[in-house]
Amino acid sequence: MAGRQLPEGWTLEEIRRVSGDREATPLDTDRVVTGWPEQGDRLHPEIVLGFHGLCLVKAVNDDDWYMGSLNDDGSVTCWSAYGDLRGALRGL
């Protein structure tokens, strides 16, 4: 499960409970993530969480969580940012 991790202090069960998505799962970080704050800007993901067609991405050296769509090619296009994971999970 290299490249698939959970945020420190969180369990998968807690992520699923807070998000309301019983199938939430950590995804591989080896993917292109773009779209925030400027269209085309590239983020370097440290953590990627999948929620059906949506994702939350924690970038390396960044405290924000970015919400976006999981594209057919495995890339993620983000459109918003949250200051903490709990707020991002509730925003799904």
User: Does a structural domain hold residue 78?
Assistant: yes
Distances (CA, A) of 58 to 7, 8, 45, 55, 84: 9, 12, 6, 10, 10
User: Does a structural domain hold residue 27?
Assistant: yes
| Residue 47: exposure state from Cβ atoms within 10 A (0-12, 13-18, ≥19) | buried
User: Does a structural domain hold residue 64?
Assistant: yes
- Predicted TM-score (pTM) of the model is 0.90
User: Does a structural domain hold residue 22?
Assistant: yes
Q: What is the pLDDT of residue 35?
A: 76
User: Does a structural domain hold residue 5?
Assistant: no
Q: Please tell me the total count of domains within the chain.
A: 1
Segments forming the whole domain that contains residue 19: 12-90
The model's pLDDT over 62-76, given as tens digits with 9 standing for 90+, comes to 899 999 999 999 999
User: Does a structural domain hold residue 3?
Assistant: no
Q: What is the pLDDT of residue 1?
A: 42
User: Does a structural domain hold residue 82?
Assistant: yes
